[in-house]
Amino acid sequence: MNWITNFVRPTINSLFSRREVPENLWTKCPECGTMLFHRELADNLNVCTNCDHHLAFSPRKRFEALFDNGVFTEIKVPEPIADPLHFKDQKRYPDRLKAAQKATGEKEAMLVAEGEMNRTPIVAAAQDFAFMGGSMSMYVGNAIIAGAERAVKLKRPFVIFTAAGGARMQEGILALMQMPRTTIAVEMLKEARLPYIVVLTHPTTGGVTASYAMLGDVHLAEPNALIGFAGARVIEQTIREKLPEGFQRSEYLLDHGMIDRVTHRKALKDELTRIIRMMMGLPPAVKADLPAPDKVPAAETEPKSGNPEKSGKKDG
Ligand SMILES: [Zn+2]
């Protein structure tokens, strides 16, 4: 009997519970419908391996891909007042926040960090569309200011990845006030003569497009990202005209001079490094890793370093 309760039953149970897992292991590409295995998708930076469609990418995963060896330090963001308007629709605002925090595992809609990208020190911020539509809240404003202040202090460029549906309704005018606040944060960078680079990702709309997302020294965009202020339907109804194909998409905006470049997600890191190093007057990045000291054959090191014993004694 013990054998049945201790071994057979758990095995049967585990067989049945395993049924739920495959749903999370596969993601369907919204563009071409291909089922993508989670590991393959993650290795490809959340870009569809079949049609190159750029799926959503969380700030944390983005930073892991952006910074050398995935190492970065988060920058602390000052806490704003919680729910100042006591806003309530179908749900209370604090409950919505809690649900978003639980779903994303993040505190708020923006992550700020410092680290090195191809050995180029930068400060970066990324907006999380999965967190209440990436909406611009007081916290997001504080995050941008904290990032800009840190960049000025360390004399580093500031790179921001935007993704937003606009201002956070639940914070009303206080969310809208983040437009002038973040504009001043960008001004601080310009006064310090530090590059401010914006990478527009799908979708960047509303008040975010009307403030810090369009104030960069250089604007890059991921392919086929929706970027605009008002929605296409609203514009169509207002001007009573059919909008052209590809309207408000990265490639269209590039053709019309709104942005500087459309860059594939996999090429972003190198592209950003190149632009930043040029703007900062730095030599091109060293791409290849130098061989580790113990791996260099003895014959190669001896003639160059002269007398290794002597230098060894000096260090000691
Ligand atoms: Zn696809």
For 178-220, what is each residue's pLDDT tens digit? 999 999 999 999 999 999 999 999 999 999 999 999 999 999 9
Contact by Cβ (8 Å): 147, 125: yes
Q: State pLDDT tens for residues 242-275.
A: 999 999 999 999 999 999 999 999 999 999 999 9
Distance 32 CA to ligand 1 centre (A): 4
Distance 228 CA to ligand 1 centre (A): 24
Q: Where are the domains of the chain?
A: 15-55, 56-279
Higher pLDDT, 140 or 292: 140
Distance 28 CA to ligand 1 centre (A): 8
Position 239 confidence tier, pLDDT thresholds 50, 70, 90: very high
Distance 20 CA to ligand 1 centre (A): 24
Q: Which CA distances in Å does 211 have to 98, 175, 184, 204?
A: 27, 12, 10, 11
Query: Is 88 labelled as part of a ligand binding site?
Result: no
Distance CA(276)–CA(159), nearest Å, equals 9
Distance 45 CA to ligand 1 centre (A): 13
Tell me the helix, strand and coil percentages in the chain, rounded to 5. Answer: 45, 20, 35
Query: Is 228 labelled as part of a ligand binding site?
Result: no
Distance 33 CA to ligand 1 centre (A): 6
The separation between CA 248 and the C-alpha centre of its own chain, rounded to angstroms, equals: 21
Distance 82 CA to ligand 1 centre (A): 40
CATH architecture of 56-279: Alpha-Beta Complex (3.90)
Distance CA(131)–CA(59), nearest Å, equals 11
Query: Is 48 labelled as part of a ligand binding site?
Result: yes
Distance 197 CA to ligand 1 centre (A): 28
Distance 61 CA to ligand 1 centre (A): 20
Q: How many CB atoms lie within 10 A of CB 21?
A: 8
Res. 19: pLDDT tops 80: no
Among 85-99, 261-275, 295-309, the range scoring the smallest mean pLDDT is: 295-309
Contact by Cβ (8 Å): 274, 260: no
Query: Is 32 labelled as part of a ligand binding site?
Result: yes
